Amino acid sequence: MRAGIVLCDFAEQNGPGDKVHMLGAGWSMIGPQPSPHAVVAIIKIESTETNRPHDFVLRLTDGDGTVVMAPGPAAQLPLEISGKLEVGRPPGIPEGTELDANFVAGIQPLQLVPGERYTWRLTIDGNEVASEGFTVRPLAR
């Protein structure tokens, strides 16, 4: 299994695991004002890893590797999205074929620290398979 993460201004998907459409893709600096963005996970599942569930977690960490906390309904919550993904293997697919399990996470504006670095990290079945960092621009002086 292999994966990559793309940061963009906006993304949407045709359906679960399907093609992703991105706008403003490929940035590594944001802000300093809070603004929405999207995290696109491009995941390739080997045919031998199909037809069974895989646990995933996408989380935002700060420069020290600590999970960023975000406002929740009653308290601060870790900024992470978790779930399961499973890709079926269609009949007749040759051994070694990789199948897509892409997903999009839309992120509401976050109050992040200007001048600091953050990283989106994707783990699948407990193994980090992709990460993508970005820096929040410093405040103008």
Q: What is the pTM assigned to this prediction?
A: 0.93
Paired tokens of 102: 């892409």
The CATH number assigned to the domain with range 2-136 reads 2.60.40.10
Domain residue limits, the chain? 2-136
Q: Count how many Cα atoms sit within 13 Å of the Cα of residue 124 in the half-sphere of its side chain.
A: 21
Write the pLDDT tens digit of every residue in 61-82.
999 999 999 988 889 999 999 9
5-21 tens-digit pLDDT: 999 999 999 888 789 99
Cβ neighbours, 10 Å, residue 72: 10
Tell me, what DSSP letter sits at residue 35?
-
